[in-house]
Each structure stands twice: as C-alpha cells, then as structure tokens.
Structure 1
Amino acid sequence: MSNYPLSYKLSWLPRFLKPSLAGDANGFAPAAGTPMDPPPKQMVRLAFVGDISAVANRSAPDCDPAIRALLGSADLVIGNCESPIMDKPSAVLGTKLGTHHAMSERFLVEALAAVGIGREKLVLSLANNHVFDQGVAGFDATLATLKQLDIRTIGPAATGPVERFAVGPLALGFAAFTLWRNADESLFAGRVSMEGDPARWPREASAGIDLLCAVPHWDWEFRHFPRAGTRALARRLAGHGVGLIAGHHAHVLQPVQRIGEAIVAYGLGDFLGTAFARQPWPGRIGGIFIVDVSAEADTRGAVAAYRLYPFVRLRAGDHERLATMEGVGVR
C-alpha cells in the first residue's frame, strides 16, 4: 500500500488541475545567486533536472538549441528517473492510462540524444514513488538497462545512503531518497533508499567528499511552496553538512532557499512530462538548476554560483517540445 495521507489523495486531482499557491512564501532566495564574487578560476558545473518520464511522450522530444547548450555546458547532469525502463510493461492497463509509468530503452536513449545529455555525464536517481510501478521485475530491468547503457544511478539501497563520484578534480557525494511510495513498503525495503534522516547516514559515507548533495523525492505534489515539514527537513540536511539540495516530486516549480552556506532548490518540476499529454498550466513549466562549484584549493567544494532556468514543455504531436521562456514570449 502507498503511504499517502487520505487528505493528500483527495486533493490530488484538484491540485493537478490548479496547482496551489498556498503556503509560507517567506524566506526564499532569488532564483540566481553568486555566493562567490569574483568567481573562482577553476569550477565544476552541475545541472539538475526534474522528473523524467515517457507518460506524455510517445517519441523523443524536440529541444530548443539553447536548452541543449545549457545542458551540454555541465560536467554532470543529475535527474530523477520517474519511469521503470522495460520494453514490455507488466501493468498493461495502468501503463496505458498513465497511472503506472514505464519507458523503453530506445525512448530513453533517443530522448537523451535529443536534449544533448551525454550518457557519460548522466546520473539518474531511482529513489521515487514510481520505481516499482512495474513490480520488482521492472526495477531489476531498470538497473540492468542503465548498467548496460553506462548510466550511473543513485538511490538503490544496496549502494548505501551516499554515492561518491569524481567530477573533474572534485569528489562529490549524492544522497538520494524518497519519502513517498506507491507500493507496499516491503518492495522498497532493501532495494530503494527511504532514509531521509542524515543523522542515520554512516559518518564514513561522506568522508573525503568535497560537496555533499541531497536529491530527495519529497513534499506534496502540485504545490508551489514547500510544506513546513519539507523546509524543516531541508534545515536538518543542511545542519548535517549537506551543501546542495535539489528536490523532486512536486511536478511544479518551487523556490530556491539559502540555509547558511547550503543552497536548496525545493522542486524542479518535470523535465519530461510525467502526467497526461494535455496537462494544464502551470504543470508544463520545469526548471534546470545550474550550480557552479569551486575547485580552487581554498574554497574547494563551495557553491560559487547558481541559477534556476525555467523552461516550458509544449505539445508537438505525439511528443513534447522543450522551449525556453524567451522562445514562447515569456520574460
């Protein structure tokens, strides 16, 4: 069984049709900032994108060249793999209706090529509520396919709460976890990280890491402002040494906040549509969170600059077109 409260379930459709602006709007930061001025001479660039799914796409998306260039400028791209990867879904009816997610290997490969993300630069989180939409077999197939494609993953419980990656001269740690699940807890236990309390992460897991990043699947869907509990968890993560947080699950853009030296992007929306093909606004607006990290000896691992770049997903036949806000006349 899922772990959604009844009030959450009852509010899903109204909030999908009209995302909520309710909540505490105080204490947030500008969508762009330069904590280090002047910028360091040597930096590593990270690009965080939102949820990736094939629900709203039957073929690879079209992509504005400016978005391709932005993603191509990153040394590492981190996203959330919202759909199990398998060619023959087991939940046939649910997959057709869009309640159960699935995408083929071919779709993923063609979509990555279309948006200009090299597989060697990609890291995908599997810590989300849809990861068992096609059962344990779908989860196992996803792991096998991503390994075959040489795409790195974060979030499987077997690899521990913090994954370490070398990016240029830096050692970066990523802690991906989900607070939500669409299936029984027994499926997630031992397979996908649900440990959102940094006090329970082994201390040695972050030893020698220049910057510890969290990639949580948290908060309630279709709310533009994070709930008080989500903001409290962000403060707890920051208090335990997490310097960068990029969240998923809300399916709409949420604001950025600075907590001491830590930078938090609460929700990046969808990168490729996870809901119905004719999704209403503003669920079509997503964000690409660009973060430049210092690789200088005296500021190693510190965030030098960040910017949340909004974009919009438009319909183009059987797939989506990713466009800049300027490209659709929004400034």
Structure 2
Amino acid sequence: MIRIVTLFLFLFMASCSPSAEAPTEKPPSQEEEEAVTLPPEPAPQPEPVVKRMTVGMIGDILLHHPLYTYDTYDAAFQEMLPYFNSIDFLIANQESIPGGVELGLSGYPNFNSPSHIVRDLKKYGVDMISMANNHTLDRGAKGVQRAIATMEQYEMPYVGAYKSYEDRATERIVEVDGITLGIVNYTYGTNGHVVPRDQPYLVNYIEEEAIRQDIRALKEKVDVVIASIHWGIEYQLNESEAQRQVAQIVAEEGAHILFGHHPHVIQPYEKRDNTHIYYSLGNFLSAQQFDSTNIGGIARITIEKTTLDGEVQNVEVLEPEFLPTVVVKENGWNFKIYPLRDRPKAAIYSEQWMLNHIKLPRWSPTVE
C-alpha cells in the first residue's frame, strides 16, 4: 500500500513539473521595441509675464520774471536729471502758456513763456505736458495755437488744450514697456478769460459729465487711466471740499491715478477706492519765494501688469512715492531746482515735514 501511494505521488509530481521541451518566452527584438508607442509628454504650461514701469508728474512750472528771460533752462533742471531718468513716463504741468516771443514774453498776471521751455523739458525727460490750467488763455486763442505748434515742433505730446475739434476728439493713449496709459486733463477755470464761441475745444474745464465720459471711454482701451487736474485754493496746505468732490467723481469712474496742481504748495496724498490721489504737487519751477511756495516735488508711482498666454490677468498701481524738491535763488538771478535733502536750509519746512504732510515715503536715496 505504501509503495502504491509513493508511486502515485511520484507520477503526480512528474506530471506537474515543466517539460524540458516547453517553449520559452523570447525577449522583444529591437524592431519590436521601437514600435512601442510611448505616451506623449505633457505640454509645458505658459508662465505668467510681469511687466513694471513707473509714472510720475512734476508740479507747477510758472515762469515769472526773471525766469521767462532765460535762454536755456539747463541750469535750472540739471540737478534733477537723474531723477527724471528714473521715471518711465513723466508729465509736467506747464502752467504759463509757452506762446513764444512773437506774442511778447511776460509774467504775472497774464503769462507768456518762451517756446524753448518745451524744448528743455523734452531734453530733460518730460514725456507729456499738461496744458489745462488757469493761465491757458492768458494770450487768448492765438497763445494756445502757438503753444501747440511748439509742442508739435519738439514732438512733445500734450493734453488738456487742443487746436481743433479733431484734436480734442483724439484720445491721449501711450504705450510704455507694454503697458498702455490713457491721460485726461482739466482745469477749474481760466482767470475770467473765455474761450471763443467758435473754438470751445481750446481748453478742458472741470465738468462732471465730460470727466465721467472721458474716463469711461479710456478704461475700455487702456491698462491705466491718469487724470491731471488743476484745482484747489492757492497757498492752502490741505485740499478743499471742492477738490474732494471732484476726486470722488474720478474715483467712482475708476481712474487709477490723479495728479493735482495749482495751489503752489504741496497737499496730502490719499487713496480713495482704487484711485491714488496727489492733491497738489506744489511748485516745481517758479520765482515765488514766500512761505512754502519754493518747495514742491515729483510724484512717482509704479504700475505692474501680469499677463498669461497673452491675456491680461491683473494690473496693479502700487508704491506711491514723493521726492521733495526746492527752488533755490542763487546769485540774485538764477533759480535752480534741487532735491530738498541737498539744500535743507533753503526751505522753511524740512524734508521730513514734507513727507509727513503728504503722507508718502521718499524715493530710495539710490538714484536709478
């Protein structure tokens, strides 16, 4: 019995073991390996592209005597050149109309400035002139037309005063480093001078509906809207209620930056909703030397635009700053602009007082 069981187990195990002649699996040939289709690699994801630029504005350029007698403004501006160069798009408020010598040069109360102020502003890095202010019509329609001819001669973009209906209808849109800016400019009045009935386009006045319509139209076409507004009460260090009302209109329509001028002194900065408001930048170049009229400054603010695969994802306006400046009278005749920190004894207020008053930081001491 034991032998039968043993034999049975032996036969069963033998039948379960692999045969020596059983086929074995062959490794794939090179042709077979190459025929295998591998899954595709995932496509690279687009990276966001961030572009940055700076926008700035200087305050009032008001050429009293003897400023309108200068043959060149090199000496006045030369200390500011590095700071001008650190701003990608710089606006200036040319308050005294540059009608040129043909109309007779003059100061207060009816200004007329030499045309080469435009030449020198261009030379030192100003990219656009804001023309709507209370002295725009000091020499009437002829003064505006001559000033605009000068702008065109020096290829200086301008806003706020216009030579024709077509000129007024042409939106001021510029592109800087891939970021588009739209600029508007208005004044509270023109010192009693009235535009001719057949030329209502000569200067932009602060009118609520016009402001709203202009900003709305630009917002559809640009990344950032900038308003330059001539307003406020002269020599008052704080904004008026009327300024605040206009600022509210600008903020409601979604303009990003508001640069204010006219009071001849600095007034505080405020952010209202998403609108950065500089109520007054003070005088930049003038012969006014009383109280705080010889101090002013340069506003600078950064714009950052993010795109992804060509589509705009975000536009931010950030880092508002201010550089205090002072106009120094040298040798009894020469008026020259300096950063206030370089001439601290030339003003009745310190740089720190100015920064505290405007409520903004100063630019980095390192000039770009």
Same fold per superposition (TM over 0.5): yes
Contact 2:215–2:255 (CA under 8 A) maintained in structure 1: no
Change (3 A) 1:41 1:227: same
Q: Deviations over 1:137-190 (max 9, x none)?
A: 111000001001000001135424852111221111111011121243334722
Q: How many residues align?
A: 281
* Structure 2 residue identity aligned to 1:302: E
Contact 1:162–1:206 (CA under 8 A) maintained in structure 2: no
The two structures have a TM-score, normalised by structure 2, of 0.70
1:42 paired residue number: 51
* Structure 2 residue identity aligned to 1:241: G
1:295 paired residue number: 305
Contact 1:127–1:193 (CA under 8 A) maintained in structure 2: yes
Unpaired stretches in structure 1, ≥5 consecutive residues? 1-39
Deviation at 1:286, TM superposition (A): 0.7
2:269 paired residue number: 256
- Structure number with higher relative contact order (C-alpha < 8 Å, ≥ 6 residues apart): 1
1:148 paired residue number: 153
Deviation at 1:108, TM superposition (A): 3.6
Contact 2:141–2:202 (CA under 8 A) maintained in structure 1: no
In structure 1, C-alpha distance between the alignment counterparts of 2:128 and 2:154, rounded to whole Å: 12
Contact 1:91–1:100 (CA under 8 A) maintained in structure 2: no
Contact 1:89–1:102 (CA under 8 A) maintained in structure 2: no
Contact 1:213–1:243 (CA under 8 A) maintained in structure 2: yes
Runs of at least 4 residues off by over 4 Å = 63-66
Change (3 A) 1:308 1:87: same
1:194 paired residue number: 205
2:179 paired residue number: 170
What is the 5 A alignment of 1:167-316?
167-187=176-196, 189-197=200-208, 198-201=211-214, 203-273=216-286, 277=287, 279-297=289-307, 300-316=314-330
Deviation at 1:102, TM superposition (A): 1.6
Contact 1:47–1:76 (CA under 8 A) maintained in structure 2: yes
What is the 5 A alignment of 1:12-27?
none
Contact 1:161–1:176 (CA under 8 A) maintained in structure 2: no
In structure 1, C-alpha distance between the alignment counterparts of 2:102 and 2:96, rounded to whole Å: 11
Contact 1:289–1:309 (CA under 8 A) maintained in structure 2: yes
Contact 1:41–1:296 (CA under 8 A) maintained in structure 2: yes
SS in 2 for 1:67: helix
Deviation at 1:243, TM superposition (A): 1.0
* Structure 2 residue identity aligned to 1:303: V
In structure 2, C-alpha distance between the alignment counterparts of 1:44 and 1:110, rounded to whole Å: 23
Deviation at 1:279, TM superposition (A): 2.3
Q: Deviations over 1:184-236 (max 9, x none)?
A: 33347221111442334374343121111110111111111011121121122
Change (3 A) 1:202 1:308: closer
Correspondence 1:103 to 2:113: yes
Q: Deviations over 1:105-150 (max 9, x none)?
A: 234424654xx32xxx510011111111112111100000100100
Deviation at 1:304, TM superposition (A): 2.3
Deviation at 1:254, TM superposition (A): 0.6
Change (3 A) 1:261 1:212: same
Percentage identity across aligned positions? 21
Structure of higher CA gyration radius: 2
2:25 paired residue number: none
Unpaired stretches in structure 2, ≥5 consecutive residues? 1-48, 345-349, 352-368
Q: Deviations over 1:256-294 (max 9, x none)?
A: 001022110000111211xxx352131000110001111
Change (3 A) 1:319 1:109: farther
Change (3 A) 1:250 1:299: farther
Contact 2:138–2:193 (CA under 8 A) maintained in structure 1: no
What is the 5 A alignment of 1:49-60?
49-56=58-65, 57=67, 58-59=69-70, 60=73
In structure 1, C-alpha distance between the alignment counterparts of 2:85 and 2:313, rounded to whole Å: 25
Correspondence 1:138 to 2:147: no
Change (3 A) 1:272 1:185: same
2:338 paired residue number: 323
What is the RMSD of the two structures over their aligned residues, measured on CA atoms?
2.4
Contact 1:286–1:310 (CA under 8 A) maintained in structure 2: yes
Deviation at 1:89, TM superposition (A): 5.4
SS in 2 for 1:199: helix
The two structures have a TM-score, normalised by structure 1, of 0.77
Greater CA drift, 227-236 or 299-308: 299-308
SS in 1 for 2:142: helix
